[in-house]
């Protein structure tokens, strides 16, 4: 998992995704689509928590969650379409890239995209 050097950064609120009740999100351990779905579900829960805590607004959360859910549904198919999964994860990432408090979610989505490219 990447480590970000944020010395000198000035952030009012930031949502970190490690050490949550759902278990740490760890795309580095993903070996197959079953593992990917499990990690995406953890990520989905984290987006919901970020909205509940006010780190991202509710409307944005709905759009991000919808894209992650679509990626999960596609991944669970017997013959998932890699490009569709990448499209949905890319859209989720693009939606929150400008939200400073969601940098951990953006990093996790970036990792998920790389894993999809590797395992499909």
Q: Is the dihedral of CA 115, 83, 98, 21 positive or negative?
A: negative
| Domain, as residue range, for 113 | 29-119
Interval 62-117: pLDDT, tens: 999 999 999 999 999 999 999 999 999 999 999 999 888 888 899 999 999 999 99
Domain count, the chain: 1
Three-state DSSP at 79 gives: coil
Tracing tokens 């760890």 back to the chain, one arrives at 26
Interval 1-60: pLDDT, tens: 444 444 454 444 434 444 443 347 888 889 999 999 999 999 999 999 999 999 899 999
Q: Answer yes or no: is 9 within a domain.
A: no
Q: Please, is 39 exposed, middle or buried when counting C-beta atoms within 10 Å of its C-beta (0-12, 13-18, 19+)?
A: buried
Full-model pTM: 0.80
State how far the Cα of 57 lies from the Cα of 95, in Å rounded to an integer: 11
């Amino acid at each position: 998992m990447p480590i970000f050097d944020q010395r000198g950064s000035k952030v009012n609120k930031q949502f970190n995704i490690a050490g949550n009740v759902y278990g740490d999100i760890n795309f580095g351990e993903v070996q197959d689509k079953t593992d990917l779905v499990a990690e995406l579900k953890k990520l989905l829960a984290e987006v919901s928590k970020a909205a509940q805590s006010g780190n991202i607004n509710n409307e944005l959360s709905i759009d991000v969650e919808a894209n992650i859910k679509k990626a999960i549904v596609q991944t669970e198919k017997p013959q998932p379409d890699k490009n569709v999964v990448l499209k949905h994860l890319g859209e989720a990432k693009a939606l929150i890239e400008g939200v400073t408090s969601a940098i951990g979610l953006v990093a996790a989505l970036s990792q998920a995209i790389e894993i999809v490219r590797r395992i499909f």
